[in-house]
Amino acid sequence: MSEHYEKVKVQFEQMKTLAPDAPAPTNLASSGRAESSSGGSVLPRNRSKSRGKETNTTSNPTSVKLNPDKPRRVNRATTEHMLQIKGTGKILRDKTEPNGSKEEEQENHKSPSGKEEQIRAMHTRRSVTVDTSKAKTSLEALKLSIRQLKWKEFPMGRRTACDIYWHGVSFHDNENIVSGQVNKFPGMIEMLRKINLSRAVRTMQEVFPEEYNFYPRSWILPEEYQLFSTQIRLLKDNDSTLKPTFIVKPDSGSQGDGIYLIRDPADLRVFSGSQIKQAVVQEYIQKPLLIDKLKFDIRLYVLVRSLEPLEIYIAKEGLTRFCTEPYQEPSQKNLNHVFMHLTNYSLNIHSGNFVHSDSCSTGSKRTFSSVLYRLASKGVDIKKVWSDIIALVIKTVIALVPELKVYYQADIPPGKPGPTCFQILGFDILLMKNLKPVLLEVNANPSMRIEHEQEISPGVFEYVPSPVDEEVKVGVIRDTLRLMDPAQRKPHISNLQGGAPEDTIVVEAVPDEKAGLVRSLPSLCLKQVFPKYMKQFNYLRIVERIADIFLRFLGVKGTMKLGPTGFRTFIRNCKLSNSSFTMASVDILYIDITRRWAGMVPDSREAGEAFKVS
């Protein structure tokens, strides 16, 4: 027995370091397999034609043709700091800031050449500055991370620019940033609201149904209420033994708020007072994988380091959140047992059965690696699990990118001074009994708290440190900062110009030792998955190319919508008008399309055609 565990432990350790690095490409490419019956997927899906051959958007002449004018700066490369380090012979000197912190100042200095100079630059380069004044609940973990990196924190903000701005909620937490890097993308909160995420994934499901079957079938309320009712009625009429369950989630809800299960469309609570509720109703996964008879979900941290070129990293360590009541498949009797069906920490913490533990492998919140270890010991192929999860993450980000680019250009149009962006996302994933990962939702602002509330005596609560949260979250923030270190960013000139072949793209960070970073730090917990696995997934980026065309016709006006003039330019440039399709007809067509889409865009303060693909 113990020998067996030793063997598993060794295997597991190997996998832990290998897994996010090396998903078998064949797994990734084919992970869009049909759902197994044991997974509890009860509803038939649209099956349209699957993908054709893989396309290489970077080197594909068509894509170059579609995008011929100039490299759009969706994430601008930060070259200034590179220059400081690479060769101007500038040295750095301390200066006191008005807020009492010390700041280093550059001074031109005679340049010794080559290696000597580089070594000196490494040792004398100024600390990276981080504005933490808007960090809110991530402040504690952020402070620890900055301390570990020996960087400089500006808790009250700073008169001059910082290298990095850490926002607790949104890109707009501070409107006055004109340089540096901000840890939020414009539009990410909007894109990840439940309805918009469902729409974005559905667009992809319509083109690539097999590849996007990791997201439960969903209907958007109120607009698809009739469709939902009709489809379920038909389904039950066809097979009376079917007893599907659905989970209803309010659009803007979080932490399980307002969520409930139903078995019949008639049970939908459509109104909130006199208002119709915006919500997503979703197929409920009835057969989740259980550990200790409990349902659990996985919180994985994903860094979108840049949109153009697309760079995605996944944290090797995540959290698992356990229910506090043994799981039973849904029945009319147990539908409202939230501690059985919902894994939210914020709900289960109120259950008498919630177990706080200082160990990462027991209790109601555990590390993902401890769960994988447990599964590996039972013979589960955890490398395959990882590889499926990586595929799910990449595909989801690919679904979000097109509209994110539109938001980005509206907020930071090329030519306008502004920061570049990156963002840590929280992916909530459920493993089905057959080990297939299912995407539940993506959080734009995953909790980065490293303490939890504890009732120390009846009615008296106190925040106490949570070792599990600290281990995972500090690593994620610290390593995100390391990857965003301006001295480590390489300009992706060749890639931005859209002409370089895939395999010449340089995206790996300079190793810490070379960059002169704190040497005692552990190796990065964030693993690059894109562009690393670009070849397997590039064929899915078709909507992104449509967004690129849309953006091109939108121009640089800082707007989200295509106006009548842009539409005329589009028609003209594509040589679509002729004697029977005159510019007058083009205008009529524009009005017609705008009317049809009006219902799709809740916020139509601005006139014009929004980017919505369907």
CB of 88 to ligand ADP, least distance (A): 49
The β-bridge partners of 300 are: 427
Question: Is residue 259 part of the contact set for ligand ADP (CB under 6 A)?
Answer: yes
CB of 361 to ligand ADP, least distance (A): 20
Nearer to ligand ADP by Cβ, of 251 and 411: the residue is 251
Nearer to ligand ADP by Cβ, of 340 and 554: the residue is 340
Choose which of 344, 387, 420, 466 interacts with ligand ADP (CB under 6 A).
344
Nearer to ligand ADP by Cβ, of 297 and 403: the residue is 297
Residue 248 and residue 342: Cα distance in Å, rounded?
12
Question: Is residue 284 part of the contact set for ligand ADP (CB under 6 A)?
Answer: yes
CB of 428 to ligand ADP, least distance (A): 5
Q: Using CA atoms in the order 327, 333, 336, 340, what is the torsion angle rounded to 10 degrees?
A: -10
CB 446 within 8 A of CB 301: yes
Instruction: Give the CA distances from residue 428 to residues 91, 118, 320, 517, 518, in Å, rounded to whole numbers and listed in that order.
Output: 46, 43, 9, 32, 32
Question: Is residue 41 part of the contact set for ligand ADP (CB under 6 A)?
Answer: no
Q: Which of these, 356, 363, 317, 322, lies nearest to 341 by C-alpha position?
A: 322
Q: Which of these, 500, 582, 421, 559, lies nearest to 56 by C-alpha position?
A: 500
Question: Is residue 183 part of the contact set for ligand ADP (CB under 6 A)?
Answer: no
Question: Is residue 285 part of the contact set for ligand ADP (CB under 6 A)?
Answer: yes
Residue 219 and residue 283: Cα distance in Å, rounded?
9
Mark the segment that binds ligand ADP (CB under 6 A) among 72-80, 246-254, 267-275, 546-554: 246-254
CB of 161 to ligand ADP, least distance (A): 35
CB 101 within 8 A of CB 132: no
CB of 441 to ligand ADP, least distance (A): 4
Residue 339 and residue 327: Cα distance in Å, rounded?
9
Nearer to ligand ADP by Cβ, of 216 and 486: the residue is 216
CB of 376 to ligand ADP, least distance (A): 23
Question: Is residue 428 part of the contact set for ligand ADP (CB under 6 A)?
Answer: yes
Residue 405 and residue 411: Cα distance in Å, rounded?
10
CB of 406 to ligand ADP, least distance (A): 24
Residue 301 and residue 472: Cα distance in Å, rounded?
9
Peptide bond into 244 cis (omega under 30): no
Instruction: Give the CA distances from residue 450 to residues 149, 319, 399, 469, 522, in Å, rounded to whole numbers and listed in that order.
Output: 18, 12, 31, 5, 19
CB of 243 to ligand ADP, least distance (A): 15
Q: Is 77 left (phi over 0), alpha (psi -120 to 50) or beta?
A: beta
Mark the segment that binds ligand ADP (CB under 6 A) among 256-264, 399-407, 471-479, 504-512: 256-264
Q: Which of these, 547, 530, 199, lies nearest to 395 by C-alpha position?
A: 530
Nearer to ligand ADP by Cβ, of 67 and 344: the residue is 344
Question: Is residue 89 part of the contact set for ligand ADP (CB under 6 A)?
Answer: no
Question: Is residue 524 part of the contact set for ligand ADP (CB under 6 A)?
Answer: no
CB of 16 to ligand ADP, least distance (A): 25
How many Å from the N-terminal Cα to the C-terminal Cα in the chain? 55
CB of 168 to ligand ADP, least distance (A): 18
Question: Is residue 149 part of the contact set for ligand ADP (CB under 6 A)?
Answer: no
Question: Is residue 278 part of the contact set for ligand ADP (CB under 6 A)?
Answer: no
Choose which of 247, 375, 431, 560 interacts with ligand ADP (CB under 6 A).
247
Mark the segment that binds ligand ADP (CB under 6 A) among 97-105, 338-346, 419-427, 572-580: 338-346
**Helix 542-554, helix 194-207: angle, nearest 10:** 120
Nearer to ligand ADP by Cβ, of 256 and 363: the residue is 256
Nearer to ligand ADP by Cβ, of 249 and 527: the residue is 249
CB 278 within 8 A of CB 251: yes
Q: What is the size of the binding site for ligand ADP (CB under 6 A)?
A: 20
* Alpha-carbon 188 to chain mean position: 9
Residue 454 and residue 349: Cα distance in Å, rounded?
9
Question: Is residue 35 part of the contact set for ligand ADP (CB under 6 A)?
Answer: no
Q: Which helix (H) or strand (E) holds 561?
A: strand 561-562
CB of 37 to ligand ADP, least distance (A): 16
CB 507 within 8 A of CB 533: no
Residue 342 token pair: 């919902």
Residue 590 and residue 582: Cα distance in Å, rounded?
12
CA 438, 439, 443: angle at the middle one, nearest 5? 155
Question: Is residue 27 part of the contact set for ligand ADP (CB under 6 A)?
Answer: no
Q: Which long-range contacts (CB under 8 A, 24 or more apart) does 86-89 make?
A: 86/118, 86/121, 87/111, 87/117, 89/117
CB of 283 to ligand ADP, least distance (A): 6
Nearer to ligand ADP by Cβ, of 442 and 543: the residue is 442
Nearer to ligand ADP by Cβ, of 327 and 408: the residue is 327
Question: Is residue 609 part of the contact set for ligand ADP (CB under 6 A)?
Answer: no
CB of 363 to ligand ADP, least distance (A): 17
Place of tokens 């008879």: 293
Draw the binding track, 431-450, toward ligand ADP (x: CB under 6 A; -: no contact): ---------xx---------
Choose which of 67, 132, 306, 343 interacts with ligand ADP (CB under 6 A).
343
* Alpha-carbon 434 to chain mean position: 25
Mark the segment that binds ligand ADP (CB under 6 A) among 105-113, 183-191, 336-344, 460-468: 336-344
CB of 247 to ligand ADP, least distance (A): 5
Mark the segment that binds ligand ADP (CB under 6 A) among 156-164, 231-239, 254-262, 450-458: 254-262
C-beta atoms surrounding 49 within 10 Å: 9
* Alpha-carbon 265 to chain mean position: 31
Q: Phi first, then psi: give them for residue 229, nearest 5 degrees.
A: -60, -45
Q: Which of these, 472, 471, 469, lies nearest to 449 by C-alpha position?
A: 469
Nearer to ligand ADP by Cβ, of 188 and 534: the residue is 188
- Say which DSSP state 432 is in: B
Judged by CB under 6 A, the chain residues 185 through 214 that form the site for ligand ADP are none
Choose which of 90, 167, 184, 249 interacts with ligand ADP (CB under 6 A).
249
CB of 245 to ligand ADP, least distance (A): 8
Question: Is residue 251 part of the contact set for ligand ADP (CB under 6 A)?
Answer: no
Residues contributing to the site for ligand ADP (CB under 6 A) = 216, 247, 249, 253-257, 259, 282, 284-285, 297, 342-344, 428, 430, 440-441
